[in-house]
Amino acid sequence: MFQLTGAEKLEVIAKCDRLRKLKFSSALPLAFAEHGALMLASVLKSAIAIRVSIEIVRVFLRLREAAIGHRDLAAKIEALEGKYDHQFKVAFDAIRELMIPPVGP
């Protein structure tokens, strides 16, 4: 589990309508990482907790698949860049810059 930064809190509020009350809280929320969610899932035993745990695992799997797809895209861009380097250098540089993950937690 980790604590969100102020910027991450604002991003969560902007993306999730059901968390809009969080906007007025002075405390920064806590969030679970993948392993923390799995550990929590193994402790909770109610029917609702089991369904939620399954959904949490599915979400993390989709995130992992998206990250892998991101790496595949990077490899394809590298291959295209080698083939069309001089003609599209500006475009490849812009795409590569957009693929850099944000700095911070």
Q: What pLDDT band is residue 28 in, cutting at 50, 70 and 90? A: very high
One domain, residues 25 and 50? no
Q: What pLDDT band is residue 88 in, cutting at 50, 70 and 90? A: low
Alpha carbon distance 20, 15 (integer Å): 9
Average pLDDT on 79-86 reads 70
Answering whether pTM is above 0.85, one says no
One domain, residues 50 and 83? yes
One domain, residues 71 and 25? no
Cα 17 from chain centre: 18
Q: What pLDDT band is residue 87 in, cutting at 50, 70 and 90? A: low
End-to-end Cα spacing for the chain: 12
One domain, residues 60 and 100? yes
7 SS3 class? helix
Among 16-20, 34-38, 86-90, which stretch is predicted with the lowest mean pLDDT? 86-90
Give the DSSP H or E segment for 25: none
Range of the domain at 94: 45-105
One domain, residues 50 and 101? yes
- Cβ distance 38 to 1 under 8 Å? no
Q: Is residue 36 part of a domain?
A: no
- How confident is the model over 32-81, as pLDDT tens digits? 776 777 677 677 778 877 777 778 778 777 877 777 777 777 777 777 77
One domain, residues 52 and 23? no
Q: Is residue 38 part of a domain?
A: no
Q: Is residue 103 part of a domain?
A: yes
Please name the residues in contact with 55: beta carbons below 8 A apart, sequence gap of 6 or more. none
For tokens 């693929």, the residue is 99
Q: Is residue 37 part of a domain?
A: no
